[in-house]
Structure 1
Amino acid sequence: MTETLTPGTVTLDTLARIYWEQCEVTLSGDARPGIERAAARIAEVAAGDAPVYGVNTGFGKLASIRIAAKDVATLQRNLILSHCCGVGEPLPPEIVRLIMVLKLMSLGRGASGVRPELVALLEGMLARGVLPVIPEKGSVGASGDLAPLAHMAAVMIGAGEAQLNGDRLPGAEALARAGLAPIELSAKEGLALINGTQVSTALALAGLFRATRAVQAAIVTGALSTDAAMGSTAPFRAEIHSLRGHAGQIEVAAALRALLNGSDIREAHRDDDERVQDPYCLRCHPQVTGACLDLLRQCARTLQIEANAATDNPLVLSDGAVVSGGNFHAEPVAFAADQIALAVAEIGAIAQRRIAMLVDPALSYGLPGFLSPKPGLNSGLMIAEVTSAALMSENKQLAHPASVDSTPTSANQEDHVSMACHGARRLLQMTGNLFHIIGIEAITGAQGIALRGPLSTSPALSAAIATLRGGVAELGDDRFMAPDLEAAAQLVQSGALADSAGLDLPGVF
């Protein structure tokens, strides 16, 4: 499947498909006239005498230095090479592709002043799998994601390194193997490539897409835990939630009601509940997870706008003016990343409390210790719960806001920065932790339900358990558990666990 990108109107659904499915992309032909107009205007400015930042001047604190017309191409090449200062591990291929797609969308707005040939090279690299090696660290999220984007641009000029069909190659060799040629940058083109928030935004989008799958699975696993603990469904009644009015809370409660509908376990104790109230991790699941859902939706709105934005500098405006501004400052992305981090930490925190409740015989209402059929001789899910606690605690530490930090850079010319890039990058680690927490809850919830036999759970939750059992067998005697935890986490990440339960939840985006 090929996604046609119309700059300014690309949806998050489209970007999610590009991220998860690695589908091919092409820029809409409607974008070309605007690209050509802006490129012609930059060429005109470059040939003139008036100083225009980044076209015929130095960069940042060096903006007062004029550059001769004969040196404009050298200026752009030097810019790319000097800014290739990234360190750390390479970003994953799916992130690199998303970065390139976002840059293609930004250039397609027709405000950057690059030639169609440069846009075509970026399209060609995506189509043929030439993925620049982009180190993960080096951006402070303002003046653009300069260092990581420079590593992307370096391959386009025949420098740097790229991955192609699993091989890591010099940039020029990767292009040649793919039947592509490097480009000599014209006026402003290097600056257009490295100014922008595309790395921060791609990482934040990946965090959003991954958190979306986790929250959907957490609603299913929360229902499993509720039934395993013989919890009450009364706190999920619709009127309770409509009286408060938050959309996410209302929707999560409705989803829980549907998931638990038809459970024999629930019916067996409906009239003789010993508890007046369930613990918060069960009773307040709609309130907590619903609030996280609402927060993710707010972040989705911000990131859809940012994904479609022109964020380099200077920009060619509709009246032909070439004006220096600050769209490269990634504060909106930094805030969104921090909010996603908060939601991820909280989804995991309340899920971990449900896991802890189920393995504790003092709290689980008749279930054996650590959900083992033979506790004592067997430790059961004792250390799976400890692992979930370790992951939860790590996510709480990682959730500290990145956006409250700033440090002056570039001789104080860039004196306030967003820290969006590493604020968004941590979401990959945090959501990876969350996939495992939710996977562990799936294992404990399904094990608790099995131990309630011969009573059975609802048809929806039975379907989810059947999917889990395809990779994780019911626990009898102790066994080597690590592969089970990985298999369950993968079912969360892939969306298979939520899909198998027929979860009916309005989308995050």
Structure 2
Amino acid sequence: MSTIHYIDSSVLSFETLNDLYNKRYKLALSEESSVKIKKARAYLDAKQNDSKSPIYGVNTGFGSLCNIKIDKDKLALLQENLVMSHACGTGDRVEDDIVKLMLLLKIQSLSYGYSGVSKELVERLIELYNNEIFPVIYEQGSLGASGDLAPLAHLALPLIGKGKVVINGRIESSEILETKFGLAPLKLKSKEGLALLNGTQFMSAYLLKNVLDAKRLMKWADTIAATSIDAFDCNTSPYDPLVHQVRPHKGQIETAKIIKKLLFGSEISAHTKQNVQDPYSFRCVPQVHGASKDALRYVEQTLLTEINSVTDNPNVFVEEDKIISGGNFHGQSLAIASDVMAIAMSEIGNISERRIYQLVSGLRGLPTFLVSSPGLNSGFMIPQYTAASIVSQNKQLCTPASVDSIVSSNGQEDHVSMGANAATKLSKVVCNIEKILAIELLNASQALYFRSQMKSSNSIELLLKDYRSLVPIVKEDKIMADEIDKSIFFLRNHKI
């Protein structure tokens, strides 16, 4: 039996969002949200009927057509035309889990009662979410200002019986919704099309998925780094708390503490070292990983603010008796956050690849390329190439999108955020980090095999026992792509 999550004014935390993302919750409007939504709609209807002045998006055109007033008998057609004309997405289809997050975030934003939509509209979005009916949306088309117009238009198409949906992994015409689920096409009321299209839910959903994935990968980054530290027979003095007390960046202190804990009880760490210092990729793990963690904190705070906000336009303020056309749909905060996160995560991959390189270099008593018969066997030579290639691609993907802007809508929308591009390319960076870390763990496991005369810590030994049951030690050359795939699978499915 599915658990019900009630949509209300409570702040959505990452804990709640993670549960909604990973578990099959059903959504329902709380009484509080229902009252707010109905109150705002009634106010908008009354204002529309009483006012002779144009109200943007209610009885006017859109964008640079905002000064053209629309007759009352054509307001519903205006909204339907808006949805259809803005459904201009192209490129790869957005994954279902991202679309599910988009539905959740759009429902949340509309539930606050500042959008003027009907309760029926919000409940229809909830029907799509609860029945796992995912509108077909495409990655390309949003400028990240005026909202995510193109992708959100595709999100809205099934509400009016148009476009396509994914049901149980199959793409179907939206016409099936009426016959299979009894969901007849809605006749959109004034402003409803605009409320659906204006918003940052495409950018927010991508950034949210990446933040949730990054939380998992950052734990792996520390764990794998600690494994490599023992694999390369490194000193543990760089992780002494005294070092970090005199440069007290929060992420740096946290990381050093984690590394010390992971290596506690390691025979390898405890024995006397021949090497006085270690390369920066080992010695400076707290400083590098810590800086990325601090950057991610900024990203998380920005995202939480956005998710718990109203991002459509215009906004309806019932108590203040105002309908205000503003710019809450502008995605600059998300664009910058996505670019910062791409840089922060890219550095996790960058330093990981350097540790991979050191492990295969034939230093510190390890065989060249981590194989017993180098020459006859190439061993781990080429996995390092693969990691280097991915790291290089990440550097290219870290070119910031948020510094770009192209004028649109005849100059009315003269500054845009490009936040959608920032968020989608961030996904590629985060996906790449998982691959690089998987390669590092593959190398670290192999390197520790050659130090079997001493043991690492209990936590690392237990981890490697589980890991090697899926990814065994390489004794002679084999297809390494298969081993990398198994290592990626391990990172995705093993809890640390």
Report which stretch shifted further, 402-411 or 425-434.
Answer: 425-434
| Percent of pairs with identical residues | 40
The amino acid of 2:16's aligned partner reads: T
Do residues 297 (structure 1) and 276 (structure 2) align? Answer: no
Residues 191-215 of structure 1: per-residue CA shift (max 9 Å, x gap): 0000000101111111211222111
Q: Would you say the 8 A contact 1:3–1:14 is kept in 2? A: no
TM superposition score normalised by structure 2:
0.97
- Residue 264 of structure 1 and its aligned partner are, at CA, apart by 1.4
CA distance in 2: counterparts of 1:222 and 1:399, whole angstroms:
23
> Is the 2:177–2:184 Cα contact (8 Å) retained in structure 1?
no
Aligned length: 492
Q: Is the contact between residue 8 and residue 109 of structure 1 (CA under 8 Å) also seen in structure 2?
A: no
Please show how residues 39-188 of structure 1 align to structure 2 within 5 Å. Answer: 39-48=41-50, 49-188=52-191
Structure 1 residues 470 and 7, CA, compared in 2 at 3 Å: closer, same or farther?
farther
Once the two structures are superposed, the pairs formed by residues 344-423 of structure 1 within 5 Å of their partners are 344-361=345-362, 364-423=363-422
1:461-488 CA-to-partner distances (Å, cap 9, x unmatched) read 1122123223211111111221221221
Is residue 7–residue 33 contact of structure 2 (8 Å, CA) maintained in 1?
A: no
1:357-407 C-alpha deviation (Å, 9 max, x unpaired):
00011xx30100111122221111111111111111100110111100011
TM-score norm. by structure 1 comes to 0.94
Q: Does 1:284 align with 2:284?
A: yes
Task: Please tell me whether the aligned partners of residues 339 and 426 of structure 2 are also in contact (alpha carbons under 8 angstroms).
Answer: no
User: Which sits farther off after the overlay, 253-262 or 425-434?
Assistant: 425-434
Matched residue, 2:259: 256
Letter in 1 for 2:293: L
Q: Does 1:209 align with 2:208?
A: no
Q: Structure 2 counterpart of 1:226, which letter?
A: I
Instruction: Find the aligned partners of 1:165 and 1:236 in 2 and give their Cα distance.
Output: 49
* 1:22 Cα deviation after fit: 5.0
- The residue type paired with residue 115 of structure 2 is S
Q: Is the contact between residue 109 and residue 310 of structure 2 (CA under 8 Å) also seen in structure 1?
A: yes
Aligned positions of 1:306-321 closer than 5 A: 306-317=306-317, 318-321=319-322
d(CA) in 2 for partners of 1:393 and 1:2?
A: 44
Alpha-carbon separation, structure 2, partners of 1:23 and 1:358: 45
Aligned mates of 2:386, 2:25 — CA distance in 1: 35
| Cα contact 2:406–2:415 (8 A) shared by 1 | yes
Post-superposition Cα deviations, 1:329-368, rounded to whole Å, max 9, x if no partner, equal 001100110111011110000000000000011xx30100
Tell me how far apart the structure 1 counterparts of residues 351 and 314 of structure 2 sit (CA, whole Å). Answer: 46
Contact 1:130 1:178 in 2 (8 A): no
CA distance in 1, matches of 2:192, 2:6: 24
Cα distance in 1 for partners of 2:59, 2:32 equals 30
**Cα contact 2:310–2:328 (8 A) shared by 1:** yes
Matched, 1:228 2:231: yes
With over 3 angstroms needed to count, the CA separation of the structure-2 counterparts of 1:175 and 1:142, relative to structure 1, is farther
Once the two structures are overlaid, the 10-residue window that deviates more, 132-141 or 453-462, is 453-462
How far has the Cα of 1:275 moved from its partner? 1.8
SS at match of 1:411: helix
Find the counterpart in structure 2 of residue 14 from structure 1: 16
Q: Describe the shift of the 1:462–1:27 C-alpha distance in structure 2 as closer, same or farther (beyond 3 A).
A: farther
In the alignment, is the contact (CA less than 8 A) between 1:248 and 1:290 conserved in 2? yes
Q: Runs in 1 of length 4+ with deviation above 6 angstroms?
A: none
Q: How many angstroms apart in 1 are the aligned matches of 2:489 and 2:335?
A: 28
| Residues in 2 aligned to 1:22 and 1:426: alpha-carbon distance in whole angstroms | 28
1:327 corresponds to? 328
SS across alignment from 1:470 = helix
Task: Work out whether residues 57 and 191 of structure 2, in 8 Å CA contact, stay in contact via their aligned partners in 1.
Answer: yes
Quote the offset at 1:8 in angstroms: 5.2
Match of 1:473 in 2: 472
Query: Which segment is superposed worse, 170-179 or 428-437?
Result: 170-179
Deviation at 1:175, TM superposition (A): 4.7
Judged with a 3 Å threshold, the aligned counterparts in structure 2 of structure 1 residues 8 and 412 are, in CA distance, closer, same or farther, namely farther
Deviation at 1:23, TM superposition (A): 3.7
Q: Is the 8 A contact 2:353 2:388 kept in 1?
A: yes
Q: Does the 8 A contact of 1:130 with 1:175 survive in 2?
A: no
* Structure 2: stretches of 5+ with no match in the other structure: none
Task: Give the whole-Å Cα distance in 2 for the aligned partners of 1:442 and 1:3.
Answer: 38
Worse-superposed segment, 350-359 or 465-474: 465-474
Q: Distance in 2 between matches of 1:23 and 1:347?
A: 33
Aligned-pair RMSD on alpha carbons?
Answer: 1.3
- Identify the range of structure 1 (259-268 vs 176-185) with the bigger mean alpha-carbon deviation: 176-185
Q: Give the distance between the partners of 1:488 and 1:5, measured in 2 at CA.
A: 39
Tell me which amino acid in the other structure corresponds to 1:487.
K
Which residue of 2 is the match for residue 432 of structure 1?
Answer: 431
